[in-house]
Chains A and B, each alone.
Chain A
């Protein structure tokens, strides 16, 4: 188990370093909110939670992963290249003219299930996929990832009520709760917080985890077969996680590091690897 955890930690830092380099090269990207969800993504893709086949990205029995916060795309691109969904050359041109890969996810890219970019849609899309699985007697699960800032979108709550009404116990949501939106702090005790209570009130099972602790990330997906209702995993995370001076810094939503900051950040990440 410890070996597995170490492998996942190493992988996560490797993804962070790759993302940092891509953002530096392109001069564009969202470091803070990408780094906050990388441990979750690595847990899903490298610990066997998501059942996908890089050689057959449209395999009909694959688990669906619907990404609301598509601005974390660079983490996905690097993971998909590493797993074999994509060729590394696809990313060389990132954010340049004629790049096939954009700053949001597009279904023409293998691995992408839905066109991201507009917040508040992912829960309903995922609910539709989970409902289709039930209609077709398919065993795949549908997972979505949204941000806590995104959770202010009203359509999410329409979908939350729908999923519970239809007893979609094959639907699992993850909220990357890094507590920072683009311009503001999301307080736990004001109207935008208490997401667990809100989802529970909509009829979901809610659990809170540390979104940077691999044993907690992995165990959140234990006993899925016993679920009677949709599950929301509220993952406490740190925006900019992994680079000391970026952590919890609001400016790192989409700031690009200076050359000096880049070198410093890279050294910190390499130390971990």
Chain B
């Protein structure tokens, strides 16, 4: 199976499998979370695999103890439980000692829509980016996901990777320069969309819808949310008048916030519209598509918002 045809999770885990085959100091710990390729890993490298059971906080401490003893550790659990539940454990045990531990969170955004707010991962970016010097990666296709595994392995400090599930349209090539932290998917114009992860494939369709409405827009996929490649992004923004961020995250602290900080810190006269989830509790159960529609992240709603905003700006 080619990389582009793989589930975004399996692409990541396949790369870790390949890495662990060559580097016996690579240890994978799961808090009882699973994935198809991980079963091969467990079978082929039993000495480099641990199931820490449903005890995420201990998993963080054990990972730190292993890393303090020279191991490169990857840990896995569902996003809400490995981030918010363990925040202080990550801060003290991994980040404060700058250890080479990669935290892999499963189920970005509304990926687990039916399970409700305990399983929704729409606030983890805001929470994790407060940790000093951590790297945050949010891949939007399988080729990028595999590259994120390499980036994490090459890093000597803490990395957080949020993984979605399923197959995604291919946006990246294997030989892309992954040090960039983002990719220009559609050439930049006066109006540009910035999106991340799952929602980028929707943003591609959105750009097409807007084009049908005689509005030509650029599109950037931002996958390295921290540290931000500020210089390169600012260069992209030269000539831009309007930026629109779209994300399946809370309006508080996601890429909308990240881009607004970049613009204001650099005194850029660019109008920014942040499209994200409202700051309110969600107890609506349904498919991801339905939830996105309910919360106004579907193409029809977003294209109306964008067109209305632009008309307002042009007055």
A interface vs B, CB < 8 Å? 66, 107, 113-115, 117-118, 121, 123-133, 135-136, 154-155, 158-159, 161-162, 165-166
Closest residue on chain A to residue B55 by CB atoms: A158
User: Given contacts A114-B68, A158-B55, could you give 7 more A-B pairs where the C-beta distance is less than 8 Å?
Assistant: A121-B61, A124-B61, A129-B69, A132-B71, A154-B57, A161-B58, A162-B62
Whether A128 contacts B55 by the Cβ 8 Å rule is no
Say which residue of A66, A115, A128, A154 sits within 8 Å of B62 (CB atoms): A128
Closest residue on chain A to residue B96 by CB atoms: A115
Closest residue on chain B to residue A117 by CB atoms: B92
B63 within 8 A of A: yes
Give A107 to B97 CA distance when docked, in angstroms: 7
Give A162 to B54 CA distance when docked, in angstroms: 11
Whether A127 contacts B65 by the Cβ 8 Å rule is yes
Closest residue on chain B to residue A138 by CB atoms: B69
A162/B53 contact (C-beta < 8 A), A115-B92, A132-B65 known: yes
Whether A124 contacts B88 by the Cβ 8 Å rule is no
Whether A125 contacts B61 by the Cβ 8 Å rule is yes
Give A107 to B67 CA distance when docked, in angstroms: 14
Closest residue on chain A to residue B60 by CB atoms: A124
Whether A127 contacts B69 by the Cβ 8 Å rule is no
Give A154 to B70 CA distance when docked, in angstroms: 27
Whether A129 contacts B65 by the Cβ 8 Å rule is yes
Whether B68 contacts A113 by the Cβ 8 Å rule is yes
B interface vs A, CB < 8 Å? 27, 47, 50, 52-53, 55, 57-58, 60-71, 88-89, 92-93, 96-97
Q: Taking chain A's interface residues, is the majority helix, strand, or loop, or is none over half, making it mixed?
A: helix
Residues of chain A with a CB closer than 8 A to B88's CB: 118
Closest residue on chain A to residue B95 by CB atoms: A115
Whether A127 contacts B62 by the Cβ 8 Å rule is yes
A149 to chain B minimum Cβ distance, whole angstroms, is 18
Residues of chain B with a CB closer than 8 A to A154's CB: 57
Residues of chain A with a CB closer than 8 A to B64's CB: 114, 124-125, 128
A125/B93 contact (C-beta < 8 A), A118-B88, A158-B58, A162-B58 known: yes
Residues of chain B with a CB closer than 8 A to A114's CB: 64, 68, 93, 97
Whether B61 contacts A129 by the Cβ 8 Å rule is no
B91 to chain A minimum Cβ distance, whole angstroms, is 8
Whether A132 contacts B58 by the Cβ 8 Å rule is no
A-B contact pairs, 30 of them (CB 8 A): A66-B65, A113-B68, A114-B64, A115-B92, A115-B96, A117-B92, A118-B88, A118-B92, A121-B89, A121-B93, A124-B60, A126-B65, A127-B65, A128-B61, A128-B67, A129-B68, A131-B50, A131-B62, A132-B70, A133-B69, A135-B27, A155-B57, A155-B58, A155-B61, A158-B55, A158-B58, A159-B58, A161-B55, A162-B53, A166-B50
Give A158 to B59 CA distance when docked, in angstroms: 9
Whether A132 contacts B69 by the Cβ 8 Å rule is yes
A123/B61 contact (C-beta < 8 A), A155-B89, A162-B55 known: yes
A115/B97 contact (C-beta < 8 A), A125-B61, A159-B58 known: yes
Whether B47 contacts A124 by the Cβ 8 Å rule is no
Residues of chain A with a CB closer than 8 A to B47's CB: 135
A124/B97 contact (C-beta < 8 A), A132-B71, A158-B57 known: no
Of the candidates A115, A128, A135, A159, the one having the most CB atoms from chain B within 10 angstroms of its own CB is A128
B62 to chain A minimum Cβ distance, whole angstroms, is 4
A116 to chain B minimum Cβ distance, whole angstroms, is 9
A245 to chain B minimum Cβ distance, whole angstroms, is 35
Whether B92 contacts A159 by the Cβ 8 Å rule is no
Closest residue on chain A to residue B58 by CB atoms: A158
Give A123 to B62 CA distance when docked, in angstroms: 9
Residues of chain B with a CB closer than 8 A to A107's CB: 97
Residues of chain B with a CB closer than 8 A to A121's CB: 61, 89, 92-93
Give A132 to B73 CA distance when docked, in angstroms: 11
B289 to chain A minimum Cβ distance, whole angstroms, is 37
Give A125 to B27 CA distance when docked, in angstroms: 15
Residues of chain A with a CB closer than 8 A to B53's CB: 161-162, 165
Whether B61 contacts A159 by the Cβ 8 Å rule is yes
Whether B92 contacts A124 by the Cβ 8 Å rule is no
Whether A125 contacts B55 by the Cβ 8 Å rule is no
Closest residue on chain A to residue B62 by CB atoms: A128
Closest residue on chain A to residue B52 by CB atoms: A162
Whether A128 contacts B66 by the Cβ 8 Å rule is yes
Residues of chain B with a CB closer than 8 A to A133's CB: 69
